[in-house]
Amino acid sequence: MKGRLSMKRVFRCVGVLCILTAACAEAPPSADEARAFLDAAETRLLDAWISAGRASWIQNTYITEDTTAQAAEARTAVIGLTMALAADAARFDGVDLPDDLRRKLLRLKTSMGVAAPADPARQAELSAIAAGMEAAYGRGAYCSGGGGECLSLPQLERRLAEVRDTDELLDLWLGWRAVAPPMRDSYARFVELANIGARDLGFADLGELWRAGYDMPPDAFTAELERLWDQVRPLYESLHCHVRAGLADEYGSAIVPPDEAIPAHLLGNMWSQTWANVFDLVAPRRTDPGYDLTDLLEDADVGEIAMVRYGERFFNSLGFDPLPDTFWERSLFVQPADRDVVCHASAWNLDYGSDVRIKMCLEVNGGDFVTIHHELGHNYYQRAYRGQSPLYRDGANGGFHEGIGDTIALSMTPEYLVEVGLLDRAPPADRDIGRLLRLALDKVAFLPFGLLVDQWRWRVFSGDIPPESYNEGWWDLRTAYQGVSPPAPRSEADFDPGAKYHIPANVSYTRYFLAHILQFQFHRALCETAGHEGPLHRCSIFGSREAGRRLQAMLEPGASRPWPDVLELGTGRREMDATAILDYFAPLQAWLDEQNAGRSCGWEQG
Ligand code: X8Z
Ligand code: ZN
């Protein structure tokens, strides 16, 4: 479409005739016109984003038919405006423009993470589907037995983390997945509509639109992901091998067969995406890290809001301003008892300025303590780039946005916990393997999941995985990348991808894979700046103003420059690079190699 529009313009003005005809009045627009167009577009978009953000906040924190309808309406307004502006902007295709304007024109097209057909009725249909799927997921619950007692997702997750009885685990695992099949047809229609919109914008499909947000040709980006995955795969496979052996000891080889993928309900997480909840099953006694963060929080009687204060204090120590009063007044920190909310944690910037908030169903445990830092990372990023023009108020790429808070959380070393009064004494260095193992169960275990969610979606968007193979395609990827298997027969009556928030909510997922690589790169660079010497897993940048300044320099540009420029500001390097995560876990890799000696590792990739 892009090419066709620019060709038309060229043909119209070829030759002497052009000087004499009315077409001359339509001579190619100038860069000044493009600038004026974009200034006006940004003003209108900002208004629409703010309205839609408010409606979405209300819906997310109070799910009803009415709030869902209003959120859909506001979303339709953004979609309608963006698609109209993008169509109008096609007149600048083929015009020689400064990089900044060209960049903004591309961002205009990719800003929504979705696209829609030009027809307003179909735009409204797409918005209603999107808001409806988000509401259905948020309201989801598993009501087992006849007692009428229902478990919300946070309750199901908590049980799944603690229970070791395989029948109950399977029941919980299957119970949550019942939320998804009703969304299956809606999702297929959503894909159909969004693809039409993406094609109207000049992309092959919605997946290509997503990949266009990475400052490189979409195919080159795909290759970049494979390169990074190849770097970390040996570490993942070592961890997988060790964890499978531990689970086989616990449950027996009839349930966890050697040489095969691990049944997905045994890994302590609803999506088997992080495995720290089975730490006790896979850690030999001598690898006890010496403390457990959940216990420390409970012992110190740290409540939910106090957990957030720890996060704020960390950012303060780097030189960032305290959070505004409105953050404390307007955020949703805990699950309300009286209404449905979307519990999946998120960070918001309601006015694209200082009105930052988080929405979480916080519980006092180590996992949520890390998630708080994750969410605050988003909020501090949003504040840092608020001076940019609206189309640049975003991360350098999605991975940056997701990686900032996690970078801070990597600094929660035992010494840090002592400094803030949560731990009496740091355990001796020979306990580090336990800490590294527990962290790897989150960070390394996550990598293939972080990658495969969009591998599935990109194939769905391209038609490679059609609706009649949604579930099969999902499990093929789960098995190939993660080495996990469905614990019960699955069919196309199921819709297991839909039981993961980011599918019904249409949030791209590659950002998390990248964040898990980038956060170690950021950590390594900031530790250098803070003057740290010694192993990376012993570094905390808490209190380092120098590290804070470097971080601020990386956050401030937002999306105004290509991410390699921004990465260079933060780390001195222009490439994403997995050597930092490998360095960080090098002692663990050596330990895993010892543990796995004599074991047969790997699984049938399908
Ligand atoms: O969705 C999130 C954050 C909000 S942006 C809590 N994460 C992914 C997930 O939960 O699946 C963080 C890590 C991966
Ligand atoms: Zn996030």
Q: Is 346 in the pocket of ligand 1 (CB under 6 A)?
A: yes
- pLDDT value at residue 430: 87
Per the annotation, the verdict on 345 as an active-site residue is yes
Q: What is the mean pLDDT of residues 175-203?
A: 98
- pLDDT value at residue 576: 97
- pLDDT value at residue 574: 98
Q: What is the mean pLDDT of residues 99-114?
A: 97
Position 342 confidence tier, pLDDT thresholds 50, 70, 90: very high
- pLDDT value at residue 537: 97
Return the structure tokens found at 208. Answer: 């290509």
The SS3 call for residue 142 is strand
Task: Give me the DSSP letters along 431-482.
Answer: GHHHHHHHHHHHHHHHHHHHHHHHHHHHHHHHTSS-GGGHHHHHHHHIIIII
- Backbone conformation region of residue 165, classed left if phi is above 0, alpha if psi is from -120 to 50, else beta: beta
Above 80 in pLDDT, residue 580?
yes
Distance 27 CA to ligand 2 centre (A): 45
Buried b (16+ CB within 10 A) or exposed e, 407-417: bbbbbbbbebb
Position 59 confidence tier, pLDDT thresholds 50, 70, 90: very high
Q: Is 272 in the pocket of ligand 1 (CB under 6 A)?
A: no
Q: What is the mean pLDDT of residues 313-323?
A: 98
Q: Which of 512, 516, 517 to mutate to test the pocket of ligand 1 (most atoms within 8 A of CB)?
A: 512
Per the annotation, the verdict on 380 as an active-site residue is no
Number of the ligand closest to the Cα of 509: 1
Distance 286 CA to ligand 2 centre (A): 34
Buried b (16+ CB within 10 A) or exposed e, 569-605: bbbeeeebbbebbbbbbbebbebbeebbeeeebebee
Neighbouring residues of 174: CB distance < 8 A, sequence distance ≥ 6: 488
Distance 88 CA to ligand 2 centre (A): 33
Above 60 in pLDDT, residue 462?
yes
pLDDT digits (tens, 9 = 90+) for 107-162: 999 999 999 999 999 999 999 999 999 999 999 999 987 667 899 999 999 999 99
Per the annotation, the verdict on 402 as an active-site residue is yes
- pLDDT value at residue 10: 32
Of the candidates 42, 125, 208, 402, the residue annotated as catalytic is: 402
Question: What distance in Å separates the CA atoms of residue 79 and residue 73, rounded to the nearest whole number?
Answer: 10
Position 12 confidence tier, pLDDT thresholds 50, 70, 90: very low
- In ligand 1, which atom is closest to the CA atom of 402? 5
Q: Is 369 in the pocket of ligand 1 (CB under 6 A)?
A: no
Q: What is the mean pLDDT of residues 285-303?
A: 95
- pLDDT value at residue 193: 98
Return the structure tokens found at 148. Answer: 């009428």
Above 50 in pLDDT, residue 579?
yes
- In ligand 1, which atom is closest to the CA atom of 344? 6
In sign, the C-alpha dihedral spanning 570, 392, 328, 140 is negative
- pLDDT value at residue 27: 83
Percent of the chain, pLDDT > 70? 95
Distance 322 CA to ligand 1 centre (A): 24
Neighbouring residues of 489: CB distance < 8 A, sequence distance ≥ 6: none
Q: Is 221 in the pocket of ligand 1 (CB under 6 A)?
A: no
- pLDDT value at residue 11: 32
> Where do the domains of the chain lie?
293-438+516-588
Tell me what the pLDDT averaged over the chain comes to: 94
Percent of the chain, pLDDT > 90? 93
439 φ, ψ to 5°? -70, -40
Number of the ligand closest to the Cα of 379: 2
Neighbouring residues of 39: CB distance < 8 A, sequence distance ≥ 6: none
Q: Is 345 in the pocket of ligand 1 (CB under 6 A)?
A: yes
Question: What distance in Å separates the CA atoms of residue 341 and residue 135, rounded to the nearest whole number?
Answer: 8
Neighbouring residues of 37: CB distance < 8 A, sequence distance ≥ 6: 88, 89, 92
Of the candidates 265, 344, 401, 516, the residue annotated as catalytic is: 344
Q: Is 371 in the pocket of ligand 1 (CB under 6 A)?
A: yes
Above 70 in pLDDT, residue 14?
no
Return the structure tokens found at 533. Answer: 């010497």
* Residue recorded with tokens 């924190």: 61
Above 50 in pLDDT, residue 209?
yes
Question: What distance in Å separates the CA atoms of residue 91 and residue 37, rounded to the nearest whole number?
Answer: 11
Of the candidates 141, 345, 426, 480, the residue annotated as catalytic is: 345
- In ligand 1, which atom is closest to the CA atom of 450? 14
Per the annotation, the verdict on 344 as an active-site residue is yes
Pairing of strands 141-143, 150-152: antiparallel
Q: What is the mean pLDDT of residues 588-600?
A: 97
Q: Is 485 in the pocket of ligand 1 (CB under 6 A)?
A: no
pLDDT digits (tens, 9 = 90+) for 229-264: 999 999 999 999 999 999 999 999 999 999 999 999
CATH of domain 293-438+516-588: 1.10.1370.40
pLDDT digits (tens, 9 = 90+) for 63-94: 999 999 999 999 999 999 999 999 999 999 99
Pairing of strands 484-485, 262-263: parallel
Q: Is 46 in the pocket of ligand 1 (CB under 6 A)?
A: no
pLDDT digits (tens, 9 = 90+) for 264-288: 999 999 999 999 999 999 998 889 9
Distance 518 CA to ligand 2 centre (A): 14
Task: Give me the DSSP letters along 181-194.
Answer: GGGHHHHHHHHHHH
Could you tell me the CA-to-CA distances from 523 to 184, 350, 438, 515 in Å, in that order?
40, 29, 18, 12
Of the candidates 242, 265, 373, 378, the residue annotated as catalytic is: 378
Q: Which of 272, 344, 370, 441 to mutate to test the pocket of ligand 1 (most atoms within 8 A of CB)?
A: 344
Position 556 confidence tier, pLDDT thresholds 50, 70, 90: very high
Q: What is the pTM for the complete model shown?
A: 0.95
Per the annotation, the verdict on 374 as an active-site residue is yes
* Residue recorded with tokens 């689970």: 247
